[in-house]
Amino acid sequence: MIVILAEKPSVAREIALLVGAKTKKEGYIEGNGYCVTWAIGHLVSLAMPEDYGFQGFKREALPILPRSYLLLPRKIKKGNKYTSDPGALKQLKVIDTLFKACKKIIVATDAGREGELIFRYIYQYLNCDKPFTRLWISSLTETAIRVGLQNLKAGSEFDGLFRAGHSRSRADWLVGINASQALTVSMNDSVYSLGRVQTPTLSLICKRYLENTSFKKKLFYQIELQHQKEGIIFKSYSNEKWEDKQKAEQALKLIEKQSEAIITKVETRTIKEESPLLFDLTALQKRANELFGFSAEETLSIAQSLYEKKFITYPRTSSKYIPEDLWEQIPKLLQVLSDDKRYSNNLLKLKMIRLNKKIVNDVKVTDHHGLLTTDRLPSAISNKEESIYHLIAQRVWESVSEPCYKQQTEVSLTVFDFEFSFKSTSIVELGWREIRKELSNDDEVIIELPDLKQGDILKIKDAIALEKSTRPKPLYTESILLSAMENASKEVEDKSLQSVIKDIGIGTAATRASIIETLLKRDYITRKAKSLVPTEKGLKVYEIVKDKLISDVLLTAKWESAFKAIEENKTNIEDFHRQIEDYTTEITAELLSIKQSSETNHLSCPKCKQHSLQLREKVIKCLEPECDWILFREVCGIKLSVDDITDLLEHRKTKLLKGLVSKAGKSFDAFIVLKKDYTTGFEFKNK
């Protein structure tokens, strides 16, 4: 009997159908000499500190550096404690029974680092020694699974992938557990969560937010001229930008006296705009966020659903290329897509012998190739699934189309001693942009110009001084943040270092969405319109750790490249683990040395008038055990800021708080006042 272990029940059902296993049992499907079972994600993971005997958060116990790492069934939180997940225990028992009874195992978990880790942790936890082979596929279509089963790979081929996954798992455990406990012990006012990737990502968001909100815009002035020739109206702009409005107006008066401008230079060049490469997961998430406002997590979830329904290839890919042996399949995929009315005209325009082959690159294909559609056109899918599917389908067409050729004209002119210029672009050959022009409204604005040459005199139809202002860097949207995480080197201010760490990112294509979601769940960041902004809690954590090693984007990016080196057997896993332990020891000491500088230290308890108050996440309380004064920070749906608390205690009244919500769900505005008995109440504006 052969056991096939898939990652999810849905995938197991597809494989069972193909191998002839039809009898459904508790936790598996049996038949034709096969038992097909599933893992339901991470059934086994690294044990928590309490499993090693470390109860609670204690300064003297840190850093916690296990000599060997225990594997235990997945745990779930019940109250304040973690307990084994009954569902995980039940499925592990099924897998254990099957593993003991089988001759060999076929690993069919997702073909990637985490999928490999899921299987190996189960295999190790169950002390299994049965031989195993690997089903390595990039699509769940019947053809792909059949070919994969006929070409199973040796399990040992993926030892490097497991080593990389195991290293990542241990590194995240060491850094996350020790840093979180160390900061919690130091601050003694709340439970904090820090992480190897989440904290540098929080730093990116907070730094950009503070730069944006503290930005002081500067006004400047630029002169715009309007011209007309051969019935075409176009504009030019002064090369000089004046900070002094008066000087700009003086220049405008001089220019208005002159009704003509002389062309001093006309430069025309042809620009070749290559077709875009296929989507990898991050690029798909960025585009979906820009066009549809989908979060990175939502896009991944939709893409995963399309993959499991066999309409696209494996979505958790970090490559934008395909291998040479897959190229022959591309015309067939386009033929399938052309059955959709959106693409029916494309085959006529795309001469099959002229397909652009730039997406073929064996060297740049990672675990999986770039995102492709499959030989099945979708049916009965949701609107969101349709949006993502056609985004991928459109990109497949674009990527194999010819380049777009544009003609760019740059014109310089003078009026008195003032220089003006403008640029114009016209399309010579649409190439791949013809696909985008038909399928979206993403085409750029093109300016057609009359015939212009050096020495020509242009009439000035109108002249105005435009008031403009400098702008801050925009707040991070998910799309911009994903780019920053993917290209961490660009966030490093030292230019000499940027070239050294080029192409190094923090997190991976498969994990960046979950990092953003973790920060949202921790209440460190929130969504505001399309932007990601830090909460008061997030900013507090950032201020505490911004200069600490735990926030270093560069260091985190280097760890990510180390995992790749481990996978390729270029770095010894234990040498790397010792480096992570040294790093953990250093950050733990750094965080334990933080002296709590509570923002309310200057405030005394209003009741006993002797002791300082302690600011916690949900309450403000007196440090004297015998004094029972306490103030809950959340009032009618609004959390009191430090300024609100200061006003209340020093002036016995906050500023007017807007948008409070009553128990009946009605919104109201009120002051919170401190009464004579030291309890709080409301005061309304009209009183």
**Residue 388: both structure tokens together:** 């993502």
CB 183 within 8 A of CB 501: no
**Beta strands, E only, 47-99:** 71-73, 75-78, 81-84
**Cα separation, 474 vs 470, whole angstroms:** 12
DSSP, res 612: B
Angstrom distances, CA of residue 195 to CA of 21, 245, 423, 584: 43, 50, 48, 11
Contacts for 529-532: CB closer than 8 Å, 24+ residues apart: 530/293, 530/477, 531/474, 531/475, 531/476, 531/477, 532/205, 532/475, 532/476, 532/477, 532/478, 532/481
Coil, strand or helix at 180: helix
DSSP, res 400: T
For residue 192, give the nearest of 514, 508, 541, 503 by alpha carbon: 541
CB 106 within 8 A of CB 125: no
Give, for 672, the enclosing helix (H) or strand (E): strand 667-674
* Pairing status of strand 2-6 against strand 104-108: parallel
CB 183 within 8 A of CB 194: yes
**Residue 226: both structure tokens together:** 């309007």
**Cα separation, 398 vs 378, whole angstroms:** 20
In the chain, the amino acid numbered 130 is K
DSSP, res 55: -
For residue 195, give the nearest of 659, 660, 511 by alpha carbon: 511
Taking the alpha carbons at both ends of the chain, their separation in whole angstroms is 82
**Cα separation, 476 vs 528, whole angstroms:** 10
Q: Is 171 exposed, middle or buried (0-12, 13-18, 19+ CB in 10 A)?
A: buried
Residue 130: CB partners within 8 Å, gap ≥ 6? 99, 102, 103, 104, 105
**Cα separation, 230 vs 493, whole angstroms:** 50
For residue 11, give the nearest of 33, 34, 39 by alpha carbon: 39
Whether the bond between 9 and the residue before it is cis, its omega within 30 degrees of 0, is no
In 10 A of CB 642, how many CB atoms?
16
**Residue 496: both structure tokens together:** 């000499």
Greatest extent of the chain over all pairs of C-alpha atoms, in Å: 97
Q: Is 519 exposed, middle or buried (0-12, 13-18, 19+ CB in 10 A)?
A: buried
* Catalytic residue annotation: 314
In 10 A of CB 244, how many CB atoms?
11
- List b or e across 462-488, with b for residues whose CB sees 16 or more CB atoms inside 10 angstroms: ebebeeeeeeeeebbbbbbbbbbbbbb
In the chain, the amino acid numbered 657 is L
Region of 230 please: left (phi>0), alpha (psi -120 to 50) or beta: left
CB 310 within 8 A of CB 360: no
Residue 292: CB partners within 8 Å, gap ≥ 6? 384, 387
Q: Supply the Cα-derived Rg of the chain in whole angstroms.
A: 31
